[in-house]
Structure 1
Amino acid sequence: MMRPIIEFCQSNMHNGTDAILKELENHPDYDVVEYGCLGNCGQCYAMPYALVNGEIVSADDADSLYTLIKEKIAEADAWANLDLD
């Protein structure tokens, strides 16, 4: 199973994503990366967001974003564990 990659934009930390980043960094099965810029400036300015396995996940507040990130990881895990034979 592939480890989820969760990417954060340093410029988005004012939206509360710094606490999410710190929380997820403590999880041994996640790869958490912080970049100076992820190139989504309009979204970055407006709301908390992150990339989960390359897909944008955004929410109205940091707590909701954390929940959506966890759901996106669970969804990816479910797909990875499907037996397609």
Structure 2
Amino acid sequence: MNSDEPTMHFVSGSDKIKITNIYSYNERSDMMKNLLSKVFSKKAKIQIEFCQNNLDRFLNEQTIADYGKFLENPRIQYKEYECLSECKLCKKTPYAKVNGQIMSGEDSQDLLNKLYDELK
């Protein structure tokens, strides 16, 4: 018998036969690790960079509060820079750099919705 395969164990009852698998310690340990990694998978942190000029241009009191709530998420690491050297884009639309890639929205709420989508 191959030691990597689970062994079958037959248990007889009054009128039923119960078949159970007996796994080695290593097999049980691997199965538990796989289960736990699926249940408690760590999602990667998201790094976001904001241009202060852009924030000043497009955020209002309501969206400032919404962004503040969003940025409290422990998976988010963010920095505000005075300028990210994206001046043409900065004048047109709210944007942020997410993991090094530019993400923009039609308005500040649209950008926030896209940022939330990145968390999924």
TM-based fold match above 0.5: yes
2:58 counterpart residue number: 15
1:72 counterpart residue number: 118
Distance between the aligned counterparts of 1:39 and 1:60, measured in 2? Answer: 20
Q: TM-score, length-normalised on structure 2?
A: 0.55
Distance between the aligned counterparts of 1:73 and 1:39, measured in 2? Answer: 26
Identity between Structure 1 and Structure 2 (%): 31
- Gapped runs of 5+ residues in structure 1? 75-85
Distance between the aligned counterparts of 1:66 and 1:27, measured in 2? Answer: 13
Distance between the aligned counterparts of 2:67 and 2:49, measured in 1? Answer: 9
> Which digits, 9 at most, give the CA deviation of each residue in 1:31-84, with x for residues without a partner?
01100111111001111000110111101111110011122343xxxxxxxxxx
Q: Which structure has more helix as a fraction of its residues?
A: 1
Q: CA RMSD in A?
A: 1.9
Identify the structure with bigger relative contact order (alpha carbons < 8 Å, sequence gap 6+).
1
Q: Which structure has more strand as a fraction of its residues?
A: 2
Distance between the aligned counterparts of 1:66 and 1:54, measured in 2? Answer: 17
Distance between the aligned counterparts of 1:39 and 1:21, measured in 2? Answer: 22
Distance between the aligned counterparts of 2:109 and 2:50, measured in 1? Answer: 15
**Quick check: 2:51–2:96 contact (8 Å CA) kept in 1?**
yes
Q: What SS does the aligned partner of 2:102 have?
A: strand
- Gapped runs of 5+ residues in structure 2? 1-42
Determine which structure has more spread, i.e. the larger CA radius of gyration: 2
**Quick check: 1:3–1:30 contact (8 Å CA) kept in 2?**
yes
Q: TM-score, length-normalised on structure 1?
A: 0.75
**Quick check: 2:47–2:98 contact (8 Å CA) kept in 1?**
yes
Superposed structure 1 runs of 4+ greater than 3 Å apart: none
Number of aligned residue pairs: give it.
74
